[in-house]
């Protein structure tokens, strides 16, 4: 309708069952209805750009006489709109909506708009089979009538019937799959204890409606033959699966974050070997320990990330208070932004800081309350979640035991990567797969070092940061490396240094290379044990290669590393 035009009686009332939306562009009038193409999946949509199309002739004819009162819609009998109900009982969801209505209206929100919101949600859930539609209408109707009881002269019953008619139309016209997803998202909310909400007025009969109680539980069986098998889809081939939680564990300062931002860069450039290879994807980052300007942005630049696909996530409270992401409270909003951006990866750095502060991270049950809904959300949103987590300083030889906090962290995660320094070379960091529920458990350990590069020169000076330089695969497993660290003593370290000096000088005398068998015989004659010699070889970076005919093993000193003055290789492991 053009602005200023009136429909209905002198007070603008349209009659029972009609709704109106007012905006700067005019007024939209709608009767309760189901989309004409609902059986083909048709849905109402807001048009936010361009001209509003001309009204259909049938509707234009209805609006010819602006002063006429449109015939009131007939009273809504909810039994006439009886919705499918499969007795998949989850009455706790309806309790959540009742308490939401009281909390919102008690805080000053519009009683009509809040009733429309919660009733629409309720009837969608009734359509999905979680409780009877009649029960939802009865309980929410009681709440609504009581909330407006003091407004003398308000047409409460006709207003309520209009709300129900609108909600029924939405429930019947909506997509069943979308209803199921929307409902399942709220299951995590329903599972979270909510504060008790007092009735709006003392002595109100609503106390029996909203008093928290244990929801009735129903056991449901699903035969395995109706569940379809699905292949594992890898974001990082063999190491991090889509729809799961993965961890990178390691000591503080070992390079976990630097590796994570290299992985992020590879995802945004389509370089990550996995299902999105060749397809750049977005990444969402929740980081609290590092500054974005001083640390994270330089690392993304060093790793050659497409920064337009990397999103920092913050939480606003009441529109202006910024807070960190908190799990499980922000799961629904997190899933929303994942779907909105098409993100393939969510980085939580560090993971522990993302858990609600009231949860004890050393108690399995409380950690699972945060992580299990997160995993369900990741599966529904078709994204991988990567959490960084510190390890303690104990001397355990089991990498998973070293992870700080509850064992639930490593139990809920489907994959765990562990980072530690190579016991034979402090400049090399090992990254091993210590848990992999969905793939191979014998993946080779990756080795890398962190090089310092300048990514920008600003008016305040140069911006330097660390960058991952992959060194290929290591013959050491993480468990072997931990055993070596545990067993090393000052005496073995001294012996290794002596063997390094001897091996370097010996190979230099041989022109930089010698047959490995000759090296071992010479070392034995000098009193160097085989294990000590191998440790010295690794620390020196001696290269073992096959050459000649017949094929013979040689040990060769590495070439001196020359400064390139530029960015090192950005390739992820396994790429050429």
Grade residue 73 by pLDDT with cuts at 50, 70 and 90.
Answer: very low
Spatial contact of 147 and 111, defined as CB atoms under 8 Å apart: yes
Amino acid 492: pLDDT: 58
Amino acid 358: pLDDT: 83
What is the rounded CA–CA span in Å between residue 233 and residue 240?
Answer: 9
DSSP 8-class letter at 147: H
All domains of the chain in start order, with CATH: 1-30+44-68 (no CATH), 78-210 (no CATH), 234-481 (3.40.50.300), 488-556 (1.10.10)
Whether 78 has a pLDDT exceeding 50, the answer reads no
What is the rounded average pLDDT of the residues 441-467? 92
Amino acid 180: pLDDT: 46
H-helix or E-strand spanning residue 61: helix 57-62
Amino acid 157: pLDDT: 79
pTM: 0.54
Whether 42 has a pLDDT exceeding 90, the answer reads no
Grade residue 432 by pLDDT with cuts at 50, 70 and 90.
Answer: very high
What is the rounded CA–CA span in Å between residue 436 and residue 574?
Answer: 18
3 state DSSP class of 332: helix
What is the rounded CA–CA span in Å between residue 214 and residue 92?
Answer: 8
Amino acid 172: pLDDT: 67
Q: Which two tokens stand for residue 351?
A: 């993971």
Which residues fall within 8 angstroms of residue 108, CB to CB, at 6 or more apart?
none
Whether 19 has a pLDDT exceeding 90, the answer reads no
The rounded Cα 538 to chain-centroid distance in angstroms is: 39
- Residues 382-397: tens digit of each pLDDT: 999 999 999 887 667 7
The mean pLDDT of the chain is 76
167 or 439, higher pLDDT: 439
- Residues 144-154: tens digit of each pLDDT: 888 887 776 67
Spatial contact of 129 and 87, defined as CB atoms under 8 Å apart: yes
Instruction: Report the candidate in 453, 124, 80, 511 with the shortest Cα–Cα distance to residue 301.
Output: 453
Q: Do the bridges between strand 240-241 and strand 234-236 make them parallel or antiparallel, or are there none, so unpaired?
A: antiparallel
User: Cβ-count burial of 29 within 10 angstroms (0-12 exposed, 13-18 middle, 19+ buried)?
Assistant: middle
């Amino acid at each position: 309708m053009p602005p200023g035009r009136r429909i209905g009686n002198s007070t603008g009332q349209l009659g029972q069952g009609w709704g109106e939306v007012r905006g700067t562009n005019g007024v939209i009038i709608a009767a309760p209805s189901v989309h004409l193409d609902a059986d083909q999946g048709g849905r109402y949509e807001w048009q936010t750009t361009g001209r509003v199309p001309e009204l259909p002739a049938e509707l234009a004819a209805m609006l010819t006489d602006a002063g006429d009162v449109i015939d009131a819609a007939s009273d809504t009998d909810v039994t006439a709109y009886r919705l499918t109900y499969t007795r998949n009982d989850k009455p706790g969801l309806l309790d959540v909506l009742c308490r939401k209505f009281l909390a919102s209206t008690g805080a000053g929100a519009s009683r009509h708009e809040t009733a429309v919101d919660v009733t629409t949600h309720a009837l969608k859930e009734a359509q999905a089979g979680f409780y009877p539609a009649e029960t939802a209408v009865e309980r929410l109707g009681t709440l609504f009538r009581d909330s407006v009881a003091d407004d003398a002269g308000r047409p409460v019953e006709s207003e309520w019937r209009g709300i129900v008619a609108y909600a029924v139309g939405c429930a019947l016209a909506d997509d069943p799959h979308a209803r199921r997803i929307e409902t399942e998202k709220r299951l995590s909310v329903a599972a979270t204890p909510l504060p008790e909400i007092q009735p709006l007025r003392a002595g109100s009969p609503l106390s029996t409606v909203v008093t928290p109680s244990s929801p009735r539980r129903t056991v449901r069986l699903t035969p395995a033959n109706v569940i379809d098998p699905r292949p594992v889809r890898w974001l990082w081939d063999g190491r991090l699966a889509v729809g799961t939680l993965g961890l990178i564990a390691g000591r503080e300062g070992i390079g976990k974050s630097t590796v994570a931002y290299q992985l992020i860069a590879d995802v945004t450039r389509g370089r990550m070997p996995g299902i999105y290879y060749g397809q750049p994807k977005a990444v969402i980052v929740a980081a609290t320990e590092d500054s974005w300007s001083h640390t994270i942005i330089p690392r993304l630049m060093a790793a050659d990330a497409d920064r337009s696909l990397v999103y920092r996530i913050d939480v606003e409270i009441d529109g202006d208070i910024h807070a960190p992401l908190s799990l499980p409270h922000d799961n629904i909003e997190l899933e929303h932004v994942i779907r909105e951006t098409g993100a393939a990866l969510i980085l939580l750095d560090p993971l522990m800081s993302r858990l609600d502060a009231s949860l004890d991270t050393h108690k399995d049950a409380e950690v699972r309350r945060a992580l299990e809904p997160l995993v369900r959300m990741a599966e529904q949103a078709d994204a991988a979640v990567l959490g960084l987590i510190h390890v303690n300083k104990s001397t355990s030889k089991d990498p998973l035991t070293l992870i700080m906090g509850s064992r639930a962290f490593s139990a809920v995660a489907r994959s765990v990567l562990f980072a530690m320094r190579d016991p034979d070379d402090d400049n090399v960091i090992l990254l091993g797969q210590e848990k992999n529920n969905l793939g191979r458990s014998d993946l080779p350990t990756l080795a890398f070092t962190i090089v310092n590069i300048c990514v920008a020169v600003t008016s305040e000076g140069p911006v330097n940061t660390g960058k991952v330089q992959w060194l290929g695969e290591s013959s050491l497993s993480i468990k072997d490396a931990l055993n070596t660290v545990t067993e090393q003593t000052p005496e073995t370290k001294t012996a290794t240094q002596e063997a390094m000096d001897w091996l370097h000088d010996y190979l230099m005398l041989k022109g930089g290379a010698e047959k490995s068998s000759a090296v071992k015989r010479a070392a034995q004659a000098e009193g160097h044990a085989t294990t000590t010699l191998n440790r010295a070889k690794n620390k020196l970076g001696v290269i073992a290669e096959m050459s000649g005919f017949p094929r013979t093993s040689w040990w060769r000193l590495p070439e001196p590393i020359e400064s390139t003055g530029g960015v090192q290789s950005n390739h992820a492991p396994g790429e050429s």
